[in-house]
Structure 1
């Protein structure tokens, strides 16, 4: 690949980033509008069902006395409507939004049906407005993502660019719902993008910023759960208690995740159509509502009370038990609703309950720590859990406490549960999803590190017969592609071994090799990363390619198996253990026998390079 081609490639990448960023801006604006419409629709249905009034002001069930019949019947009827919408509208509206968005990215080429953009928020508003203990964020993630995907499908974009706009819409909707731009970008990176690259990070950030700016005039500028300023003293005792609070939050996260999939397995064993399952889930919700009516609905007002330390002990215990049970069990029915707001409430209730037992700190501090812990454990996104909590409350001085709580809950969840509430659903659909991000070993090595440095090369003017004799004498081994170089060593083209054999059997054995070569042959530079080499091999369906220096001279040949050297180095770095600093020798083990000996089992980068360059397949 020439320097000019490289420059043009870099320019095209940069221009595409700018183009996708330009499209992400209206996607963010549309996602903010969708978030506003969804929240107002939830409020309208809640007011109609529980208070029999036409009003779009956010409210919650349980603020006044309700008939027991209404508390039971409303979620059952809501679940029945959602089941009918899923059966005859789109099955994609089932679930809490994020696994469906992940599945669209992994298997659907980031394509979302346009009707999902309409049916998902409507079904979620019906489910939550009739008492469902869910959040609006999952549906808005799916709705905002659908808006970005629809725009990308109209335009002529690649699958990666569609993914970027889908995630830009999802993150924009999150930012507008919770006024949390940093957490929304982190959520996109930790859960949806599966990469951290400028090509996706910049457009998503632009969408989130636009959605956040538009949120102020339509939904308010302040934090969603702002709490009074706290005088927090994070001494060693308090931080140690944060560790225990995080472990308890992790245990609750594991229990809630287990309940979700226990319920899903139980519903899957029912002998009638899944269309009826949300109505049965509604019956569970109604039963819980009789015990604690304020566990119904999205419950932003309850979260605010818990985080500020104003909640009564009876409400704390009722929310902790009832909300956990009805959310976990009803979510398994396949109804429509998000997980974040219920997780916020459950985590805050756990922390508030612990605050009544812990002498240090304040009830508000432990409620905030419990929220961060349960988010970190349920979502398996510890950084998002911390940043989300800080942006929701503006309790910035609690950052170290939240980090300890969220990280310890995450550790407990990872060590005791194979998958999270999000990835378990993906795995049950037959998909493999990794949430571990690390440097690609192919990015850490260059072609010069693993190439064969003295491949068999041919010269112009050689006949086919001479070339074959030269190849046989050089004992080229696995080499089946031969660079043809001029007297100055510059690459003129390549000649596959199969073409030489064909020329010999075809009676043109005296023909010069330069009449048969491929003059537009592929090549890579010795300073290209192995990742770039892998892309070249895959794109052009070849297994070997010449390597050239900056001046165009052939410096080696790289083949597909050579790429495994980077993986081997990665495995060595992970599993090989050795002592690098000397210890005082004992009389029974002389130092000169063991210390200072070169360990040839685990060559480092320089050792691998020396080893690879010592491999020779022949000389000209």
Structure 2
């Protein structure tokens, strides 16, 4: 019996409550994640010791420039691990891993290889951070435990978030920031969707984060990540200066994220000037990245690796000239993009913190040299700390996590107000400049996991309602209000006398009017056209859910009318949030069922092939053995052949029955799913011949 079955059997005998099971699971996730992240950090230190203390010393004693080869050697080692990792992912893609990810399960067979690749990448000097792999390690541990316990997809998603929080808490020794990271980033959608027990969900994440941080503190120590000198905000008039730093941080964060994307496009051969990169193998790309890291190690060693030593020096007010800080800012940004694009494994938390510290120190020194000495301002480490949080918030799009993370890493409350001001302004500026805002708003608004592909495959015609509530624009307002509330509608479409769409009337419009002071004309004399919303956002039946949700998210709409593309005033249906959520979950369920059927077929076919091969080998061996015997063994030879033949036929017959039964099951399920899907898709064809909806 497998370990998962033993655990399930044990829990079934104890019959604990669901909350108790999740509590125990959270503790297990915290302990395992904390232990895993601790081992991961020690593995990074071991790799750094091997590369930059043992190997680099030997090479530099002979040739000073030979340090260039240290990152290149690390790149070769990482390429070997990446090759094994790609093989494991290719095998997983042939199974049900892609569908399992949709229902909240992550592939966990590659966890050791990914962790090893990240440790070797960071140890060899790649300009990345350990926090991303730590979060991924914790998330995979949560997923693995949920699968072993045979939890539902919702509980597995919760354990994934708890594991991610535990990974971040152990990596930064910051349990509070880990909790907010899980709720703000990892569980943003599922936490909004699960309204039944939000407190229980938070408690699971909190417990996992605290336990993981405790394990990390026991192993690595309790000191904060950075030690700060004594400083203070000199004047409240200094706050606008921090707001200016927030604007600069938004620019750096935007350039940083775009540089990473462009570097990945370059190494993928998508640049017009470098199509040859597509033909290069992964080891060659990693060697290019390692060569760039080695060049920087010869000239600006402060910029390679995780970079926390440089950040610590900046916060301790170690003298860095303005030109040097400007060079480090540019080099670190480009080197991180090259390291990520070439194939090294790591996160972007640490590089973001590095860029923020350099930017803040540069900004603080610059304004100190510009402003008169009579104006009191804080020292440059204060601006460095604010810059760290602002750039991190702009890069990972998690302002609350950034504020709490920097607070826990430094354990200094004196800078919180400027910190929050700069982070908030940075996040706001990036929201205005980000051209991918629509896709992110879909996921934040729609209460759905971030899987745009599923939404793009479903048409509006499959989920819309054909008979939405509607009223005349000349109807008295009180009568229209009674109609909407009596039918428990959230809104009603407003039509004119020839059934053309004129607007929409919502319960919010009615409540706003009722709560306003009495005016002219009186409420009893008003009609629907006096207060209805004239500018109505509409969608079309042939659009995908993703396209419609982008439009709905701009105004946070609950529902939207579906109109004829050729006649925009002719309404043919209504689509709402509940229908979209139902369609999304149904699509995931269909994919899971199809994957299970495919896996069953593969198992049966493998069993059948193995049985046939065994029978064939047995028959061949018996025939060869009997051919060398004397004639008086003919009867025995005949009996052995007959026995083997009958056994082989019986086995093949049973296997054929199993295959036929499985094929019938697969055909039946696929027919049912296709019938339901076709009936929904045929709505779109029927719409074009239908009459306009009458109010």
The TM-score range, normalised by the shorter chain, is 0.5 to 0.7
The 8 Å contact of residues 101 and 107 in structure 2, kept in 1 or not, is answered as no
Q: 1:597 to 1:38 in 2, by over 3 A?
A: farther
Instruction: Work out whether 1:30 is the aligned partner of 2:32.
Output: yes
Shifted more, 264-273 versus 200-209: the winner is: 264-273
Encode CA deviations 1:127-180: one digit per residue, 9 max, x unaligned: 011110111111111111111211111111011111121221221121111111
Q: Distance in 1 between matches of 2:506 and 2:395?
A: 30
Q: 1:563 to 1:257 in 2, by over 3 A?
A: farther
Q: 1:323: which partner in 2?
A: 332
Q: Distance in 2 between matches of 1:104 and 1:397?
A: 47
Q: 2:148: which partner in 1?
A: 154
Task: Pick the aligned partner of 2:82 from 75, 83, 86.
Answer: 86
Q: Distance in 1 between matches of 2:399 and 2:305?
A: 26
Task: Pick the aligned partner of 2:381 from 344, 361, 364.
Answer: 364
Q: 2:556: which partner in 1?
A: none
Q: 2:349: which partner in 1?
A: 340
Q: 2:678: which partner in 1?
A: none
Q: 2:665: which partner in 1?
A: none
Aligned CA-pair RMSD: 4.1
Q: 1:286 to 1:35 in 2, by over 3 A?
A: same
Encode CA deviations 1:207-239: one digit per residue, 9 max, x unaligned: 00111222222111121113133232350x211
Q: Distance in 1 between matches of 2:230 and 2:27?
A: 35
Task: Pick the aligned partner of 2:72 from 69, 76, 80.
Answer: 76
Q: Distance in 2 between matches of 1:173 and 1:33?
A: 10
Q: Distance in 1 between matches of 2:178 and 2:527?
A: 47
Q: 1:577 to 1:344 in 2, by over 3 A?
A: farther
Q: 2:134: which partner in 1?
A: 140
Instruction: Work out whether 1:600 is the aligned partner of 2:528.
Output: yes
Which is richer in helix? 2
The 8 Å contact of residues 121 and 344 in structure 2, kept in 1 or not, is answered as yes
1:597 is displaced (CA, Å) by 7.3
Q: Secondary structure at the match of 2:278?
A: coil
Q: 1:241: which partner in 2?
A: 241
Q: 2:118: which partner in 1?
A: 124
Q: 1:451: which partner in 2?
A: none
The 8 Å contact of residues 65 and 298 in structure 2, kept in 1 or not, is answered as no
Q: 2:266: which partner in 1?
A: 266
Q: Distance in 2 between matches of 1:320 and 1:570?
A: 53
Q: 1:327 to 1:167 in 2, by over 3 A?
A: same
Q: Distance in 2 between matches of 1:379 and 1:570?
A: 39
Q: 1:78 to 1:175 in 2, by over 3 A?
A: same
Q: TM-score, normalised by structure 2?
A: 0.57
Encode CA deviations 1:488-514: one digit per residue, 9 max, x unaligned: xxxxxxxxxxxxxxxxxxxxxxxxxxx
Between Structure 1 and Structure 2, how many residues are aligned? 444
Q: Distance in 1 between matches of 2:240 and 2:252?
A: 19
Encode CA deviations 1:432-468: one digit per residue, 9 max, x unaligned: 774535999xxxxxxxxxxxxxxxxxxxxxxxxxxxx
1:395 is displaced (CA, Å) by 1.9
Q: 1:90 to 1:18 in 2, by over 3 A?
A: farther
Q: 2:300: which partner in 1?
A: 292
Q: 1:279: which partner in 2?
A: 287
Q: 1:212: which partner in 2?
A: 213
Q: 1:570 to 1:206 in 2, by over 3 A?
A: farther
Q: Secondary structure at the match of 1:41?
A: helix
1:593 is displaced (CA, Å) by 5.9
Q: 1:254: which partner in 2?
A: 254
Q: Distance in 2 between matches of 1:179 and 1:566?
A: 53
Q: What is the 5 A alignment of 1:143-222?
A: 143-194=137-188, 195-196=190-191, 197-222=198-223
The 8 Å contact of residues 309 and 367 in structure 1, kept in 2 or not, is answered as no
Q: Distance in 2 between matches of 1:114 and 1:35?
A: 16
Q: 1:48: which partner in 2?
A: 50
Q: Distance in 1 between matches of 2:121 and 2:425?
A: 33
Encode CA deviations 1:262-294: one digit per residue, 9 max, x unaligned: 111111212325523333222232233333112
Q: Secondary structure at the match of 1:114?
A: coil
Instruction: Work out whether 1:305 is the aligned partner of 2:313.
Output: yes
Q: 1:404 to 1:22 in 2, by over 3 A?
A: same
Q: 1:570 to 1:268 in 2, by over 3 A?
A: farther
Q: Secondary structure at the match of 1:271?
A: helix
The 8 Å contact of residues 90 and 116 in structure 1, kept in 2 or not, is answered as no
Q: Distance in 1 between matches of 2:107 and 2:71?
A: 27
The 8 Å contact of residues 128 and 298 in structure 1, kept in 2 or not, is answered as yes
The 8 Å contact of residues 190 and 435 in structure 1, kept in 2 or not, is answered as no
Q: Distance in 2 between matches of 1:93 and 1:73?
A: 30
1:106 is displaced (CA, Å) by 9.3
Q: Distance in 2 between matches of 1:88 and 1:571?
A: 57
The 8 Å contact of residues 491 and 506 in structure 2, kept in 1 or not, is answered as no
The 8 Å contact of residues 17 and 203 in structure 1, kept in 2 or not, is answered as no
Q: Secondary structure at the match of 1:244?
A: helix
Shifted more, 143-152 versus 274-283: the winner is: 274-283
Q: Secondary structure at the match of 1:377?
A: helix
Q: 1:390: which partner in 2?
A: 407
Q: Distance in 2 between matches of 1:372 and 1:241?
A: 15
Q: 1:355: which partner in 2?
A: 364
Encode CA deviations 1:586-613: one digit per residue, 9 max, x unaligned: xxxxx84699975735579xxxxxxxxx
Q: 1:207 to 1:274 in 2, by over 3 A?
A: farther
Q: Distance in 1 between matches of 2:98 and 2:359?
A: 34
Q: 1:232: which partner in 2?
A: 233
Q: 1:597 to 1:69 in 2, by over 3 A?
A: farther
Encode CA deviations 1:184-207: one digit per residue, 9 max, x unaligned: 111111111124333432211110
1:309 is displaced (CA, Å) by 2.3
Which consecutive residues of structure 2, in runs of 5 or more, have no partner in the other structure?
1-15, 91-96, 192-197, 270-276, 369-376, 449-466, 468-483, 494-502, 534-695
The 8 Å contact of residues 232 and 378 in structure 2, kept in 1 or not, is answered as no
Q: Distance in 1 between matches of 2:527 and 2:413?
A: 50
Which consecutive residues of structure 1, in runs of 5 or more, have no partner in the other structure?
1-13, 54-59, 95-102, 441-542, 544-557, 584-590, 605-620
1:122 is displaced (CA, Å) by 0.6
1:247 is displaced (CA, Å) by 0.3
Q: 1:273 to 1:579 in 2, by over 3 A?
A: farther
Instruction: Work out whether 1:409 is the aligned partner of 2:443.
Output: no
Q: 1:403 to 1:579 in 2, by over 3 A?
A: farther
